[in-house]
């Protein structure tokens, strides 16, 4: 097995675990509303934090790290890849949001509405589906759709000189 194939296998495994964790965690939030105060809530909180800190977050780190390595190993600098990276950024935002919810949800009397669970799950599924479509289809996107300063290496430097010229 080549180094590229090994990194890709670890990347896919990390993505599967990360995405699965992001899909399971909102259900754990919803369970919070159904469990009475006391020991069961503390056990659910402990389990939810362990899932987030011990499983989902390391998988996210592995997926992002190996994905970054794959970009350079595979020399993939195409427009669909940059769109995929934007979708991965959205997945990171959902991941961070999950951490903030865990911090506040298990305070006494807090609840998590079912519409939030559905919305969070739908948003996660939408982002994951977008990533899958971009990776599997690798659509050809015309370069003129993207502004030149995103297409040309060093364009941001020349753009900054136009905006604020040095005297």
- Per-residue pLDDT of 36-85, as tens digits, reads 777 888 898 899 999 999 999 999 999 999 999 998 888 677 888 888 99
- As a whole number of angstroms, the distance between CA 167 and CA 164 comes to 9
Region of poorest pLDDT, from 17-26, 77-86, 90-99: 77-86
Average pLDDT over residues 77-104: 91
Cα–Cα distances in angstroms (integers) from residue 39 to residues 24, 32, 36, 45, 46, in the given order: 22, 12, 9, 10, 10
For residue 125 the two structure tokens come to 């599924």
Cα–Cα distances in angstroms (integers) from residue 43 to residues 20, 32, 106, in the given order: 21, 10, 11
State the pLDDT at residue 150: 67
- As a whole number of angstroms, the distance between CA 53 and CA 47 comes to 10
State the pLDDT at residue 164: 62
Q: What are the residue ranges spanned by the domains of the chain?
A: 3-163
- Per-residue pLDDT of 101-114, as tens digits, reads 988 887 777 777 78
- As a whole number of angstroms, the distance between CA 111 and CA 106 comes to 8
DSSP 3-state assignment of 115?
Answer: helix
pTM value? Answer: 0.81
Helices and strands counted in the chain (H then E)? 7, 0
- Per-residue pLDDT of 113-155, as tens digits, reads 788 889 999 999 999 999 999 999 988 877 777 677 666 767 6
pLDDT of residue 159 exceeding 60: no
- The answer to whether the Cα torsion of 134, 140, 144, 150 is positive or negative is positive
Assign 3-state DSSP to the chain and report helix, strand, coil percentages, each to 5.
Answer: 80, 0, 20
State the pLDDT at residue 21: 96
- Per-residue pLDDT of 22-31, as tens digits, reads 999 999 888 8
């Amino acid at each position: 097995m080549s180094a590229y194939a090994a990194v890709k296998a670890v990347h896919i495994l990390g993505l599967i675990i990360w995405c699965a964790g992001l899909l399971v965690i909102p259900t754990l939030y919803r369970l919070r509303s159904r469990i009475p105060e006391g020991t069961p809530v503390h056990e659910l909180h402990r389990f939810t934090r362990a899932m987030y800190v011990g499983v989902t977050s390391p998988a996210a780190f592995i997926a992002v790290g190996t994905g970054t390595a794959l970009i350079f190993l595979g020399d993939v600098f195409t427009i669909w890849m940059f769109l995929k990276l934007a979708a991965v950024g959205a997945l990171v935002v959902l991941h961070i949001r999950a951490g903030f919810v865990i911090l506040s949800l298990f305070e006494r009397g807090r609840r998590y509405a079912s519409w939030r669970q559905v919305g969070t799950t739908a948003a996660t599924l939408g982002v994951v589906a977008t990533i899958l479509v971009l990776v599997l289809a690798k659509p050809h996107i015309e370069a003129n759709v993207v502004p030149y300063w995103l297409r040309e290496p060093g364009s941001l430097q020349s753009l900054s000189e136009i905006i604020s010229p040095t005297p």
